[in-house]
Amino acid sequence: MNKKKITAFAMATLAACSMSSIMALADDQVTITMVESLTSPERTAILREIADNYQADHPDVTIEIVSPPLENADTKITQMLMNGSGADIVEVRDSTITQYASNEWLADLQSYIDAWDEKDTLSESADEVIHYYKDTAYMIPYGFYQRGLYVRKDWFEEKGLELPTTWEELLESGEALTDESANRYGYSFRGGSSGYQYADTIYWSWIGMDKIADPNAAYFLKDGDGATIFTLPEAKEALNFYKELYQKASPSDSIAWAFSEMVQGFVGGTTAMLIQDPEVIATCTSDMEDGSWALIPFPKGPSGQAVFPNGFAGWGMTSFTEHPDETADFLLYLSNSENNTYFAKNYSTIPIHTDAADSDSYFSEGAFSMYMDMAAEPETYCHAAYPQMYEAFATYKTEVDTMYQKFLTDEITDDELLQWLDDFWTTAYAEEGQLW
Protein backbone atom coordinates (compact mmCIF):
# COMPACT_ATOMS: atom_id res chain seq x y z
CA MET A 1 0.00 0.00 0.00
CA ASN A 2 1.53 3.36 -1.03
CA LYS A 3 1.83 6.35 1.25
CA LYS A 4 -1.22 8.16 -0.24
CA LYS A 5 -3.45 5.14 0.29
CA ILE A 6 -2.22 4.69 3.86
CA THR A 7 -2.95 8.35 4.62
CA ALA A 8 -6.42 8.17 3.09
CA PHE A 9 -7.21 4.98 5.03
CA ALA A 10 -6.03 6.53 8.29
CA MET A 11 -8.14 9.65 7.75
CA ALA A 12 -11.21 7.56 6.94
CA THR A 13 -10.67 5.45 10.05
CA LEU A 14 -10.25 8.57 12.20
CA ALA A 15 -13.40 10.09 10.74
CA ALA A 16 -15.35 6.91 11.40
CA CYS A 17 -14.10 6.80 14.99
CA SER A 18 -14.95 10.46 15.50
CA MET A 19 -18.46 9.94 14.11
CA SER A 20 -18.95 6.92 16.37
CA SER A 21 -17.87 9.00 19.37
CA ILE A 22 -20.27 11.77 18.45
CA MET A 23 -23.12 9.30 17.99
CA ALA A 24 -22.32 7.63 21.30
CA LEU A 25 -22.29 11.01 23.01
CA ALA A 26 -25.59 11.88 21.39
CA ASP A 27 -27.03 8.56 22.57
CA ASP A 28 -25.95 9.39 26.13
CA GLN A 29 -27.66 12.80 26.10
CA VAL A 30 -31.01 12.90 27.87
CA THR A 31 -33.64 15.58 27.40
CA ILE A 32 -36.24 15.94 30.14
CA THR A 33 -39.33 17.92 29.18
CA MET A 34 -41.22 19.61 32.00
CA VAL A 35 -44.61 21.22 31.33
CA GLU A 36 -46.01 24.00 33.52
CA SER A 37 -49.66 24.73 34.30
CA LEU A 38 -49.68 27.89 36.43
CA THR A 39 -47.42 29.75 34.04
CA SER A 40 -45.96 33.22 34.39
CA PRO A 41 -42.70 34.70 33.05
CA GLU A 42 -41.47 35.36 36.57
CA ARG A 43 -42.08 31.82 37.77
CA THR A 44 -40.63 30.23 34.65
CA ALA A 45 -37.44 32.23 35.23
CA ILE A 46 -37.13 30.73 38.73
CA LEU A 47 -37.56 27.21 37.37
CA ARG A 48 -35.09 27.91 34.58
CA GLU A 49 -32.49 29.05 37.11
CA ILE A 50 -32.86 25.84 39.12
CA ALA A 51 -32.79 23.73 35.94
CA ASP A 52 -29.63 25.48 34.73
CA ASN A 53 -27.92 24.70 38.03
CA TYR A 54 -28.88 21.05 37.62
CA GLN A 55 -27.59 20.96 34.05
CA ALA A 56 -24.26 22.41 35.18
CA ASP A 57 -23.81 19.39 37.45
CA HIS A 58 -25.26 16.95 34.88
CA PRO A 59 -23.87 17.89 31.44
CA ASP A 60 -25.49 14.82 29.90
CA VAL A 61 -28.99 16.10 30.78
CA THR A 62 -30.96 18.93 29.17
CA ILE A 63 -34.04 20.30 30.92
CA GLU A 64 -36.63 21.71 28.56
CA ILE A 65 -39.38 23.79 30.18
CA VAL A 66 -42.64 24.13 28.24
CA SER A 67 -44.87 27.01 29.38
CA PRO A 68 -48.27 27.01 27.65
CA PRO A 69 -50.53 30.07 28.08
CA LEU A 70 -52.15 29.97 31.51
CA GLU A 71 -55.72 29.88 30.20
CA ASN A 72 -55.26 26.59 28.33
CA ALA A 73 -52.24 25.04 30.05
CA ASP A 74 -54.19 22.22 31.70
CA THR A 75 -55.83 21.37 28.38
CA LYS A 76 -52.39 21.21 26.76
CA ILE A 77 -51.08 18.94 29.51
CA THR A 78 -54.12 16.67 29.23
CA GLN A 79 -53.59 16.34 25.47
CA MET A 80 -49.94 15.40 26.00
CA LEU A 81 -50.88 12.83 28.62
CA MET A 82 -53.61 11.33 26.44
CA ASN A 83 -51.15 11.06 23.54
CA GLY A 84 -48.55 9.44 25.78
CA SER A 85 -45.70 11.61 24.55
CA GLY A 86 -44.06 15.01 24.78
CA ALA A 87 -43.65 15.27 28.55
CA ASP A 88 -41.56 13.69 31.29
CA ILE A 89 -42.69 15.93 34.16
CA VAL A 90 -46.04 17.73 34.34
CA GLU A 91 -47.42 20.19 36.84
CA VAL A 92 -50.13 18.50 38.88
CA ARG A 93 -52.72 20.50 40.82
CA ASP A 94 -55.31 19.66 43.44
CA SER A 95 -57.90 20.08 40.69
CA THR A 96 -56.17 17.74 38.21
CA ILE A 97 -54.49 14.98 40.23
CA THR A 98 -57.55 12.71 40.28
CA GLN A 99 -57.94 12.88 36.50
CA TYR A 100 -54.24 12.32 35.81
CA ALA A 101 -53.78 9.51 38.32
CA SER A 102 -57.02 7.64 37.61
CA ASN A 103 -56.08 7.50 33.92
CA GLU A 104 -52.69 6.02 34.84
CA TRP A 105 -50.83 8.93 33.25
CA LEU A 106 -48.56 9.40 36.29
CA ALA A 107 -45.83 7.12 37.62
CA ASP A 108 -45.55 5.98 41.23
CA LEU A 109 -42.61 7.86 42.80
CA GLN A 110 -42.53 5.93 46.08
CA SER A 111 -39.34 3.95 45.43
CA TYR A 112 -37.48 7.14 44.56
CA ILE A 113 -38.83 8.96 47.63
CA ASP A 114 -37.87 6.04 49.88
CA ALA A 115 -34.25 6.36 48.72
CA TRP A 116 -34.24 10.17 48.97
CA ASP A 117 -31.97 11.59 51.67
CA GLU A 118 -34.31 14.56 52.25
CA LYS A 119 -37.56 12.68 52.77
CA ASP A 120 -37.37 13.07 56.57
CA THR A 121 -37.74 16.86 56.45
CA LEU A 122 -40.96 16.74 54.42
CA SER A 123 -43.83 18.31 56.33
CA GLU A 124 -46.92 16.36 57.33
CA SER A 125 -48.92 18.35 54.78
CA ALA A 126 -46.43 17.42 52.06
CA ASP A 127 -46.67 13.73 52.92
CA GLU A 128 -50.48 13.90 52.84
CA VAL A 129 -50.43 15.45 49.37
CA ILE A 130 -47.84 13.01 48.03
CA HIS A 131 -50.22 10.18 48.94
CA TYR A 132 -53.42 12.11 48.18
CA TYR A 133 -54.80 9.73 45.56
CA LYS A 134 -55.25 6.11 46.65
CA ASP A 135 -52.27 6.40 49.00
CA THR A 136 -49.88 6.31 46.03
CA ALA A 137 -47.03 8.78 45.44
CA TYR A 138 -48.16 10.29 42.15
CA MET A 139 -46.64 13.73 42.78
CA ILE A 140 -44.41 15.82 45.00
CA PRO A 141 -45.89 19.21 45.88
CA TYR A 142 -43.84 22.36 45.46
CA GLY A 143 -45.95 24.31 47.93
CA PHE A 144 -49.30 25.13 49.44
CA TYR A 145 -51.85 27.89 48.99
CA GLN A 146 -53.35 28.34 52.44
CA ARG A 147 -55.55 31.30 53.20
CA GLY A 148 -55.12 34.07 55.70
CA LEU A 149 -56.94 37.29 56.55
CA TYR A 150 -55.45 40.47 55.07
CA VAL A 151 -56.55 43.58 56.96
CA ARG A 152 -56.24 47.34 56.49
CA LYS A 153 -54.48 47.87 59.78
CA ASP A 154 -54.65 51.65 59.41
CA TRP A 155 -58.44 51.61 59.02
CA PHE A 156 -58.82 49.51 62.16
CA GLU A 157 -56.59 51.92 64.07
CA GLU A 158 -58.59 54.93 62.84
CA LYS A 159 -61.80 53.36 64.18
CA GLY A 160 -60.19 52.03 67.37
CA LEU A 161 -61.15 48.47 66.46
CA GLU A 162 -59.42 45.26 67.49
CA LEU A 163 -58.33 42.94 64.70
CA PRO A 164 -60.83 40.07 64.34
CA THR A 165 -60.07 36.51 65.40
CA THR A 166 -63.50 34.99 64.60
CA TRP A 167 -66.00 35.17 61.77
CA GLU A 168 -68.47 36.98 64.02
CA GLU A 169 -65.87 39.62 64.87
CA LEU A 170 -65.03 39.92 61.18
CA LEU A 171 -68.64 40.75 60.33
CA GLU A 172 -68.92 43.18 63.25
CA SER A 173 -65.73 44.96 62.18
CA GLY A 174 -66.81 44.87 58.54
CA GLU A 175 -70.07 46.64 59.33
CA ALA A 176 -68.27 49.27 61.42
CA LEU A 177 -65.78 49.97 58.62
CA THR A 178 -68.38 50.18 55.85
CA ASP A 179 -69.14 53.69 54.62
CA GLU A 180 -70.90 53.56 51.27
CA SER A 181 -70.71 57.34 50.80
CA ALA A 182 -66.90 57.09 50.90
CA ASN A 183 -66.88 53.89 48.80
CA ARG A 184 -65.42 52.01 51.74
CA TYR A 185 -66.52 48.51 52.65
CA GLY A 186 -65.53 46.03 55.29
CA TYR A 187 -64.91 42.92 53.23
CA SER A 188 -63.79 41.72 49.79
CA PHE A 189 -66.57 39.25 49.10
CA ARG A 190 -66.11 36.69 46.32
CA GLY A 191 -69.41 35.87 44.65
CA GLY A 192 -68.08 35.14 41.16
CA SER A 193 -65.96 32.26 39.91
CA SER A 194 -65.16 29.79 42.73
CA GLY A 195 -67.07 31.89 45.24
CA TYR A 196 -68.61 28.70 46.62
CA GLN A 197 -65.24 27.87 48.18
CA TYR A 198 -65.66 30.79 50.56
CA ALA A 199 -69.08 29.54 51.64
CA ASP A 200 -67.46 26.15 52.26
CA THR A 201 -64.94 27.58 54.73
CA ILE A 202 -67.78 29.12 56.72
CA TYR A 203 -69.75 25.85 56.80
CA TRP A 204 -66.71 23.93 58.00
CA SER A 205 -65.79 26.53 60.63
CA TRP A 206 -69.34 26.33 62.02
CA ILE A 207 -69.54 22.53 61.93
CA GLY A 208 -65.99 21.61 63.01
CA MET A 209 -63.82 18.77 61.79
CA ASP A 210 -65.15 16.18 64.25
CA LYS A 211 -68.28 15.68 62.15
CA ILE A 212 -66.53 15.57 58.77
CA ALA A 213 -66.07 12.19 57.05
CA ASP A 214 -62.65 13.01 55.63
CA PRO A 215 -60.68 16.25 55.15
CA ASN A 216 -60.55 15.59 51.39
CA ALA A 217 -64.29 14.91 51.13
CA ALA A 218 -65.61 17.52 53.52
CA TYR A 219 -69.16 17.68 52.15
CA PHE A 220 -69.89 14.29 53.75
CA LEU A 221 -70.60 13.43 57.37
CA LYS A 222 -68.63 10.92 59.40
CA ASP A 223 -70.41 7.54 59.60
CA GLY A 224 -73.19 9.02 57.52
CA ASP A 225 -73.24 6.54 54.61
CA GLY A 226 -73.33 9.39 52.12
CA ALA A 227 -75.19 11.91 54.29
CA THR A 228 -74.00 15.47 53.71
CA ILE A 229 -73.16 18.43 55.91
CA PHE A 230 -75.90 20.43 54.20
CA THR A 231 -78.53 18.70 56.35
CA LEU A 232 -77.11 20.08 59.61
CA PRO A 233 -78.63 23.09 61.41
CA GLU A 234 -75.11 24.56 61.65
CA ALA A 235 -74.95 24.61 57.85
CA LYS A 236 -78.12 26.69 57.63
CA GLU A 237 -76.81 29.10 60.24
CA ALA A 238 -73.48 29.38 58.40
CA LEU A 239 -75.20 29.96 55.06
CA ASN A 240 -77.22 32.85 56.44
CA PHE A 241 -74.08 34.31 58.00
CA TYR A 242 -72.45 34.13 54.56
CA LYS A 243 -75.35 36.16 53.15
CA GLU A 244 -75.09 38.72 55.96
CA LEU A 245 -71.42 39.18 55.16
CA TYR A 246 -72.35 40.08 51.60
CA GLN A 247 -75.30 42.30 52.46
CA LYS A 248 -73.85 44.20 55.42
CA ALA A 249 -70.11 44.52 54.78
CA SER A 250 -69.39 44.08 51.06
CA PRO A 251 -69.81 46.07 47.82
CA SER A 252 -72.96 45.05 45.94
CA ASP A 253 -70.99 44.31 42.76
CA SER A 254 -68.79 41.83 44.66
CA ILE A 255 -71.44 39.23 43.87
CA ALA A 256 -69.52 38.92 40.59
CA TRP A 257 -65.99 39.35 41.98
CA ALA A 258 -63.36 36.69 41.40
CA PHE A 259 -59.67 36.65 42.36
CA SER A 260 -58.48 39.81 40.58
CA GLU A 261 -61.42 41.97 41.64
CA MET A 262 -61.33 40.99 45.29
CA VAL A 263 -57.58 41.61 45.53
CA GLN A 264 -57.86 44.93 43.73
CA GLY A 265 -60.70 45.91 46.05
CA PHE A 266 -58.38 45.49 49.01
CA VAL A 267 -55.16 46.84 47.51
CA GLY A 268 -56.98 49.72 45.81
CA GLY A 269 -58.56 51.00 49.02
CA THR A 270 -62.18 49.89 48.63
CA THR A 271 -62.28 47.08 51.20
CA ALA A 272 -60.83 46.60 54.68
CA MET A 273 -60.46 42.82 54.72
CA LEU A 274 -59.56 40.11 52.25
CA ILE A 275 -59.19 36.36 52.60
CA GLN A 276 -56.58 35.07 50.18
CA ASP A 277 -53.46 32.99 49.61
CA PRO A 278 -49.84 34.03 50.38
CA GLU A 279 -49.24 35.12 46.78
CA VAL A 280 -51.02 38.39 47.64
CA ILE A 281 -48.22 39.31 50.06
CA ALA A 282 -46.05 40.46 47.16
CA THR A 283 -48.87 42.59 45.72
CA CYS A 284 -49.54 44.26 49.06
CA THR A 285 -45.84 44.85 49.65
CA SER A 286 -45.36 46.53 46.28
CA ASP A 287 -48.65 48.46 46.02
CA MET A 288 -49.49 49.50 49.60
CA GLU A 289 -47.79 51.70 52.17
CA ASP A 290 -45.71 50.03 54.87
CA GLY A 291 -47.73 49.64 58.05
CA SER A 292 -51.08 50.11 56.33
CA TRP A 293 -51.86 46.38 56.14
CA ALA A 294 -51.24 43.14 57.98
CA LEU A 295 -51.80 39.43 57.46
CA ILE A 296 -53.43 37.67 60.41
CA PRO A 297 -54.73 34.12 61.05
CA PHE A 298 -57.84 32.78 59.37
CA PRO A 299 -60.99 33.53 61.42
CA LYS A 300 -62.42 30.83 63.69
CA GLY A 301 -66.06 29.77 63.72
CA PRO A 302 -68.39 28.77 66.59
CA SER A 303 -66.78 25.31 66.50
CA GLY A 304 -63.60 26.90 67.82
CA GLN A 305 -61.79 25.94 64.63
CA ALA A 306 -60.75 27.79 61.50
CA VAL A 307 -61.14 25.44 58.55
CA PHE A 308 -59.92 26.20 55.05
CA PRO A 309 -58.52 24.40 51.99
CA ASN A 310 -54.89 23.41 51.81
CA GLY A 311 -54.56 24.16 48.12
CA PHE A 312 -51.58 22.51 46.49
CA ALA A 313 -49.70 21.97 43.27
CA GLY A 314 -46.53 20.13 42.39
CA TRP A 315 -44.77 17.88 39.92
CA GLY A 316 -45.51 14.39 38.69
CA MET A 317 -43.52 12.05 36.45
CA THR A 318 -45.38 10.69 33.45
CA SER A 319 -45.91 6.95 33.26
CA PHE A 320 -44.57 6.92 29.70
CA THR A 321 -41.27 8.76 30.21
CA GLU A 322 -38.36 7.01 28.51
CA HIS A 323 -35.93 8.20 31.19
CA PRO A 324 -37.58 7.50 34.57
CA ASP A 325 -34.39 7.47 36.66
CA GLU A 326 -33.04 10.74 35.25
CA THR A 327 -36.48 12.37 35.42
CA ALA A 328 -37.01 11.33 39.03
CA ASP A 329 -33.53 12.57 39.93
CA PHE A 330 -34.29 16.04 38.58
CA LEU A 331 -37.73 16.07 40.20
CA LEU A 332 -36.17 15.34 43.60
CA TYR A 333 -33.49 17.96 42.99
CA LEU A 334 -36.20 20.50 42.23
CA SER A 335 -37.95 19.42 45.44
CA ASN A 336 -34.98 19.41 47.82
CA SER A 337 -35.02 21.78 50.77
CA GLU A 338 -32.68 24.37 49.27
CA ASN A 339 -34.43 24.63 45.91
CA ASN A 340 -37.96 24.32 47.24
CA THR A 341 -37.35 27.02 49.86
CA TYR A 342 -35.92 29.31 47.19
CA PHE A 343 -38.86 28.62 44.88
CA ALA A 344 -41.44 29.11 47.65
CA LYS A 345 -39.93 32.41 48.73
CA ASN A 346 -39.94 33.83 45.22
CA TYR A 347 -43.31 32.37 44.22
CA SER A 348 -45.06 33.03 47.55
CA THR A 349 -46.11 29.50 48.44
CA ILE A 350 -45.75 27.65 51.72
CA PRO A 351 -42.67 25.38 51.44
CA ILE A 352 -42.78 21.60 51.82
CA HIS A 353 -39.80 21.11 54.15
CA THR A 354 -39.95 21.64 57.90
CA ASP A 355 -36.52 23.30 57.99
CA ALA A 356 -37.47 26.12 55.60
CA ALA A 357 -37.92 28.69 58.37
CA ASP A 358 -34.50 27.78 59.77
CA SER A 359 -32.75 28.22 56.44
CA ASP A 360 -34.49 31.46 55.43
CA SER A 361 -35.81 34.04 57.90
CA TYR A 362 -38.36 35.19 55.31
CA PHE A 363 -40.65 32.42 56.52
CA SER A 364 -40.28 33.21 60.21
CA GLU A 365 -40.44 37.01 60.03
CA GLY A 366 -42.81 39.57 58.55
CA ALA A 367 -46.18 38.80 56.98
CA PHE A 368 -45.36 35.21 56.07
CA SER A 369 -44.68 34.23 59.67
CA MET A 370 -48.44 34.11 60.25
CA TYR A 371 -48.58 30.83 58.32
CA MET A 372 -45.96 29.36 60.61
CA ASP A 373 -48.04 30.47 63.60
CA MET A 374 -51.13 28.70 62.25
CA ALA A 375 -49.12 25.57 61.49
CA ALA A 376 -48.10 25.44 65.16
CA GLU A 377 -51.79 25.02 66.15
CA PRO A 378 -53.07 22.19 63.92
CA GLU A 379 -56.06 21.44 66.18
CA THR A 380 -57.35 25.00 65.72
CA TYR A 381 -56.31 25.79 62.15
CA CYS A 382 -57.48 22.83 60.10
CA HIS A 383 -57.63 21.89 56.44
CA ALA A 384 -60.58 20.55 54.47
CA ALA A 385 -61.52 20.31 50.82
CA TYR A 386 -64.52 19.74 48.57
CA PRO A 387 -64.71 16.14 47.22
CA GLN A 388 -63.06 16.70 43.87
CA MET A 389 -62.23 13.00 43.51
CA TYR A 390 -65.81 12.52 42.28
CA GLU A 391 -66.52 12.71 38.57
CA ALA A 392 -69.63 14.69 39.51
CA PHE A 393 -67.40 17.50 40.74
CA ALA A 394 -66.75 18.61 37.14
CA THR A 395 -70.47 19.31 36.71
CA TYR A 396 -70.77 20.80 40.18
CA LYS A 397 -68.15 23.46 39.41
CA THR A 398 -70.15 24.70 36.42
CA GLU A 399 -73.40 25.09 38.37
CA VAL A 400 -72.72 25.88 42.00
CA ASP A 401 -71.65 29.54 41.78
CA THR A 402 -74.88 30.41 39.97
CA MET A 403 -76.90 28.73 42.72
CA TYR A 404 -75.18 30.79 45.40
CA GLN A 405 -75.76 33.98 43.40
CA LYS A 406 -79.46 33.13 43.20
CA PHE A 407 -79.51 32.76 46.97
CA LEU A 408 -77.71 36.06 47.52
CA THR A 409 -80.23 37.86 45.29
CA ASP A 410 -83.25 36.17 46.94
CA GLU A 411 -84.20 34.13 43.88
CA ILE A 412 -84.08 31.00 46.04
CA THR A 413 -84.25 30.45 49.81
CA ASP A 414 -81.65 29.00 52.14
CA ASP A 415 -83.64 25.76 52.35
CA GLU A 416 -83.80 25.49 48.57
CA LEU A 417 -80.05 25.99 48.17
CA LEU A 418 -79.21 23.51 50.92
CA GLN A 419 -81.62 20.99 49.41
CA TRP A 420 -79.96 21.39 46.01
CA LEU A 421 -76.51 20.88 47.55
CA ASP A 422 -77.66 17.84 49.51
CA ASP A 423 -79.40 16.28 46.50
CA PHE A 424 -76.38 16.81 44.27
CA TRP A 425 -73.91 15.12 46.59
CA THR A 426 -76.13 12.30 47.85
CA THR A 427 -76.72 11.44 44.18
CA ALA A 428 -72.98 11.56 43.47
CA TYR A 429 -72.34 9.25 46.43
CA ALA A 430 -75.08 6.85 45.34
CA GLU A 431 -73.70 6.65 41.80
CA GLU A 432 -69.97 6.61 42.54
CA GLY A 433 -69.74 5.26 46.08
CA GLN A 434 -67.28 6.26 48.80
CA LEU A 435 -64.09 7.50 47.15
CA TRP A 436 -62.04 8.65 50.15
**Phi and psi for 316 in degrees, rounded to 5?**
-125, 150
Same fold, 28-146+311-354 and 148-308+381-432: yes
Tell me: pLDDT of 16 over 70. no
pLDDT band at residue 21 using 50, 70 and 90 as cut-offs:
very low
pLDDT value of residue 24: 43
User: Out of 382-386, 409-413, 421-425, which region has the weakest mean confidence (pLDDT)?
Assistant: 382-386
Averaged confidence pLDDT in the chain: 93
The mean pLDDT value for 135-150 works out to 96
Residue 109: CB atoms within 10 A of its CB come to 24
User: 40-99, pLDDT tens digit by residue?
Assistant: 899 999 999 999 999 999 999 999 999 999 888 999 999 999 999 999 999 999 889 989
Tell me: pLDDT of 5 over 60. no
pLDDT band at residue 411 using 50, 70 and 90 as cut-offs:
very high
pLDDT value of residue 389: 86
User: 93-127, pLDDT tens digit by residue?
Assistant: 988 998 999 999 999 999 999 999 999 999 988 99
* Domain spans, the chain: 28-146+311-354, 148-308+381-432
pLDDT value of residue 2: 54
User: Out of 238-242, 257-261, 373-377, 403-407, which region has the weakest mean confidence (pLDDT)?
Assistant: 373-377
pLDDT value of residue 388: 86
User: 337-378, pLDDT tens digit by residue?
Assistant: 999 999 999 988 999 999 998 889 888 888 988 998 898 898
Tell me: pLDDT of 8 over 80. no
**12 or 368, greater pLDDT:** 368
DSSP code for 105: -
Exposed, middle or buried by CB within 10 Å (0-12, 13-18, 19+), for 5?
exposed
pLDDT value of residue 205: 98
| Percent of the chain predicted with pLDDT > 70 | 94
pLDDT band at residue 407 using 50, 70 and 90 as cut-offs:
very high
pLDDT value of residue 27: 60
Exposed, middle or buried by CB within 10 Å (0-12, 13-18, 19+), for 235?
buried
Structural fold of domain 148-308+381-432:
D-Maltodextrin-Binding Protein; domain 2 (3.40.190)
**206 or 374, greater pLDDT:** 206
β-strand partners of 63: 32
Tell me: pLDDT of 418 over 90. yes
pLDDT value of residue 13: 53
The mean pLDDT value for 169-188 works out to 98
User: Out of 2-11, 87-96, 213-222, 326-335, which region has the weakest mean confidence (pLDDT)?
Assistant: 2-11
Cα angle, residue 409 at apex, residues 407 and 411 outer, rounded to 5°: 65
Exposed, middle or buried by CB within 10 Å (0-12, 13-18, 19+), for 188?
buried
DSSP code for 179: B
Q: Does domain 28-146+311-354 have CATH number 3.30.565.10?
A: no
pLDDT band at residue 3 using 50, 70 and 90 as cut-offs:
low
